[in-house]
Structure 1
Amino acid sequence: MLVVYGSEMCPDCINCKRSFDDNGIEYRFVDINKNLKDLKDFLIMRDTNPIFDRLKKINDIGIPAIVMEDGTVFTDWEGFLAERNLPITYENFGQSCSIDGKGC
């Protein structure tokens, strides 16, 4: 089963969850804002996995971050769905969770 690290405050994470739900994709959602251990686990992953290097350079949080059963980590949830020809569900929140206004 996939594990999705994210936050209920993040529009991208909410859209990822909604899209996974709509497409019947099984996952466990870990809200990094609800538990310090979960936040620490996410930060260790983000700070040691090169998949996050580009995101850290642009001051991105790196969520949603999805961990596959084999331990592979990816952040392109939209690409994951597109590769499988599955529709993406978007809700326009009219807000952003980054300082520059470009998303999480």
Structure 2
Amino acid sequence: MIKIYGMNTCPDCVALEAQVKDNPRYEVHEIGSHVRELKAFLRMRDTEPAFDAVKRKGTVGIPCFVLEDGTVTLSAKAAGLTPAPRGETPSCNIDGSGC
């Protein structure tokens, strides 16, 4: 099972969640739904090298994916999904540059 960590206020996360709805291959973790989900995500973000670049840029790093072999990635394609095309979802960065 592939785990997806995201938030329902993140346009990229919402677009991906629509793709995996009712698909048992994916498990969605809404990190804003409970502090337990947020802590699990932050523990991963603090320790996984996959987040190094996003932390340097000051972004969150969602959606993120934990593949069946335990690999952590920020690539929707690596998780078998199609990312939303740039410019087709609202911006969620403070500076309006995207998500």
**Do the aligned residues in 2 keep the contact of 1:12 with 1:103 (CA within 8 Å)?**
no
Judged with a 3 Å threshold, the aligned counterparts in structure 2 of structure 1 residues 99 and 89 are, in CA distance, closer, same or farther, namely closer
Q: TM-score, normalising length from structure 2? A: 0.82
Q: Paired residue for 2:28?
A: 29
In the aligned structure 1, how far is the partner of 2:31 from the partner of 2:75? Answer: 18
In the aligned structure 2, how far is the partner of 1:65 from the partner of 1:89? Answer: 12
- Please state if 1:53 is matched with 2:52: yes
In the aligned structure 1, how far is the partner of 2:17 from the partner of 2:56? Answer: 26
In the aligned structure 2, how far is the partner of 1:5 from the partner of 1:61? Answer: 11
- Please state if 1:98 is matched with 2:93: yes
- Runs of at least 5 residues in structure 1 that lack an aligned partner in the other structure: none
- Percent identity of paired positions between Structure 1 and Structure 2: 40
In the aligned structure 1, how far is the partner of 2:38 from the partner of 2:32? Answer: 7
Q: Paired residue for 1:13?
A: 13
Q: TM-score, normalising length from structure 1? A: 0.79
- Runs of at least 5 residues in structure 2 that lack an aligned partner in the other structure: none
Alpha-carbon deviation of 1:98?
A: 1.2
Alpha-carbon deviation of 1:76?
A: 1.1
In the aligned structure 1, how far is the partner of 2:83 from the partner of 2:98? Answer: 16
**Do the aligned residues in 1 keep the contact of 2:12 with 2:83 (CA within 8 Å)?**
no
In the aligned structure 2, how far is the partner of 1:103 from the partner of 1:26? Answer: 28
Residue 63 of structure 1 aligns to which amino acid in structure 2? I
**Do the aligned residues in 1 keep the contact of 2:8 with 2:14 (CA within 8 Å)?**
yes
CA-based RMSD:
2.4
In the aligned structure 2, how far is the partner of 1:11 from the partner of 1:29? Answer: 15
